[in-house]
Amino acid sequence: MFLLLGVLVTAGWGPLVDADRSVSHAVARLVDGTDWAITGLHWFELVTDTLAAEITAVVGALLIWSKGHPRAGLYFAMVNAGTIISTQVLKPVFDRDRPEWQVASDLLHNAAYPSGHSAWAASIAGSLAVLVSMLVRKAPVRRVMYAALLLSVLAIGADRILLGRHFLTDVLGGALLGAIWVLGVLAFYSPVPRGHARRLEPLLATTPSGKRDLHVVLNPIKVESVESFKDVVAQMAAESGWSEPVWHHTTADDSGTGQAHDASIAGADLVLVCGGDGTVREVCAELAGTGIPVGIVPAGTGNLLGRNLSLPLYFRSAIDVALNGQDKAIDMVALSGDGVENTSFLVMAGMGFDAAIMEGVNEDIKKKVGWIAYVLSALKALMFPAMKLEISVDSGEFTSHRARTVVIGNVGYLQGGMPLIPNAAIDDGQLDVVLLYPKKFLSWLPLAFKVLTKQKRSDSSLTRFTGTRVVVRSAVEVPRQIDGDIISSGKELVCETVHGRLLVRVPR
């Protein structure tokens, strides 16, 4: 289509050329004599020119690479570099004149077909759409991103015609050239990450020869297509030498405990769990101390355990780590308190502001836009009332404090990589406690700076403790949470670390 369109317009085929000139000129006349519109279009032209495309190609590829997707970053770089270079090479080949009605300021004199702006707009948007389809799980979010990418391509194309820089066919030709590179590179190079089994030497076998029984605990509402997910796991398991997976689905009444118990008594050599932090916690709590490793496929909104274990959030990569990664012994934390059955957590427990965030999340919004729902809830809960607290560490004397939130952490990082407890490690046998007390609304800004810059010094707004056993008591009942799940409000939390209690699969 690209070549045919180019040959027809440069050969001057009457019906196409006449229609092309008529439509393109009519569109350009819409802004005739409108200086403010022409000025705005001209600035838009400048910020989407060749230099902007080159910067986007380089910076975008590096960012994607830095997020743990080197093959996706290389794909993005190849598509856009190919588009930019081929556009410059093909312009003199077709050598089509610009429209004679283009705006007088900064006239362009090089060949018109194909439109460079449209070409790299299509290649950047198209290659990003490929990566969105691969990496973004929530369908509503994907649809919004697809729409935004499409609108950006249409806006750039409209800018070229309104300024009279190009005919409509030039814009279509540029979009087709960008599509050629998006699909052409995809046909020969997959942006999907390579697996552990392909690029690393096999680990020493830890299960008896010929016995590699795989069980999977799945929260079915966390995947778009249960059957597709099962097919992927079964295929990758077979390629890695595991048995046909035995499936256990969670239910509204049992979010993982019973399923993990069934897997353990059935003799599982590996249990793979796919779900949010709550499901992961239930499965891990049941399998703690059994010696059965747990492979985690993070499929929730927060995925805090997965993030702190450096697990990939891309499904296929996470499955690959679960099947072919190495075992790591991590700590669990036993928890008790008033009105709470004895339980455990892996990530963190909290009282006050952080629990109020979890409590205030709109589940409908959470399903549609994911972690953004937590941001909206946090804005509403910013000035959660200060709490009067008493804290005892390692059976020491209680000390008095005031805070808007207290977090007892087994890991250090929240969503977005926020280093709330930067010294925390999930395998050090220690608990890390943080108290945050911004006295005024604007006090959140310097407090956020202290957290982001990992300042260790304690003051009235930020206080830290470390120990193996922590007791926190509040003067009044306050919201409480463990691993992002709300538990009943109360006055006390008692947390004690259980060192090296659980085996999980992590990247090699």
Q: How many domains does the chain have?
A: 3
3-class DSSP assignment, residue 34: coil
DSSP secondary structure of 258-312: HHHHHHHHTT-SEEEEEE-HHHHHHHHHHHTTS---EEEEE-SSS-HHHHHTT--
Mean pLDDT confidence for 387-407: 90
Band the pLDDT of 35: cuts 50, 70, 90.
Answer: confident
| 121 lies in some domain | yes
Segments forming the whole domain that contains residue 311: 197-324
3-class DSSP assignment, residue 491: strand
| 330 lies in some domain | no
Band the pLDDT of 442: cuts 50, 70, 90.
Answer: low
Q: Confirm if 502 and 288 have CB atoms less than 8 A apart.
A: yes
Q: Which of 99-113, 140-154, 364-378 has the lowest mean pLDDT?
A: 364-378
| Dihedrals phi, psi of 483, to nearest 5 degrees | 50, 35
pTM: 0.73
| 282 lies in some domain | yes
pLDDT digits (tens, 9 = 90+) for 347-382: 888 888 877 777 766 666 556 555 566 666 666 666
The verdict on 355 and 270 lying in the same domain is no
Helix (H) or strand (E) holding 350: strand 348-352
Residue 274 maps to which CATH number? 3.40.50.10330
Q: Report the alpha-carbon distance of residue 234 to residue 231 in Å, rounded.
A: 5
pLDDT, position 455: 64
pLDDT, position 208: 52
| 507 lies in some domain | no
| 506 lies in some domain | no
pLDDT, position 484: 76
Residue 417 maps to which CATH number? 2.60.200.40
pLDDT, position 421: 75
Q: Confirm if 281 and 346 have CB atoms less than 8 A apart.
A: yes
pLDDT, position 371: 57
Kindly tell me if the per-residue pLDDT of 142 is higher than 80. Answer: yes
| 366 lies in some domain | yes
The verdict on 393 and 411 lying in the same domain is yes
pLDDT digits (tens, 9 = 90+) for 223-261: 888 999 999 999 999 988 899 999 999 998 898 999 999
The verdict on 102 and 182 lying in the same domain is yes
pLDDT, position 474: 92
The verdict on 243 and 125 lying in the same domain is no
The verdict on 456 and 373 lying in the same domain is yes
pLDDT, position 301: 75
The verdict on 164 and 245 lying in the same domain is no
Mean pLDDT of the chain: 86
Residue 96 maps to which CATH number? 1.20.144.10
Q: Confirm if 106 and 38 have CB atoms less than 8 A apart.
A: no
Nearest to 465 by CA among 403, 374, 385: 403
The verdict on 258 and 357 lying in the same domain is no
The verdict on 15 and 159 lying in the same domain is yes
- Return the percentage of the chain with pLDDT > 70, whole number: 87
Q: Which of 32-41, 430-439, 443-452 has the lowest mean pLDDT?
A: 443-452
Among residues 266, 293, 324, the one where a domain terminates is 324
The verdict on 402 and 373 lying in the same domain is yes
| 147 lies in some domain | yes
131 is written with which tokens?
A: 């990566």
- Return the percentage of the chain with pLDDT > 90, whole number: 51
Mean pLDDT confidence for 45-71: 91
Q: Who wins on pLDDT, 35 or 234?
A: 234
The verdict on 203 and 108 lying in the same domain is no
Among residues 324, 348, 366, the one where a domain terminates is 324
Q: Which of 84-93, 231-240, 285-294, 430-439 has the lowest mean pLDDT?
A: 430-439
| 357 lies in some domain | yes
Among residues 324, 354, 388, the one where a domain terminates is 324
The verdict on 31 and 121 lying in the same domain is yes
pLDDT, position 381: 60
pLDDT digits (tens, 9 = 90+) for 313-360: 888 889 999 999 889 999 999 999 998 888 888 888 888 887 777 776
The verdict on 379 and 304 lying in the same domain is no
pLDDT digits (tens, 9 = 90+) for 491-505: 999 999 999 989 999
pLDDT, position 264: 94
Q: Confirm if 499 and 410 have CB atoms less than 8 A apart.
A: no
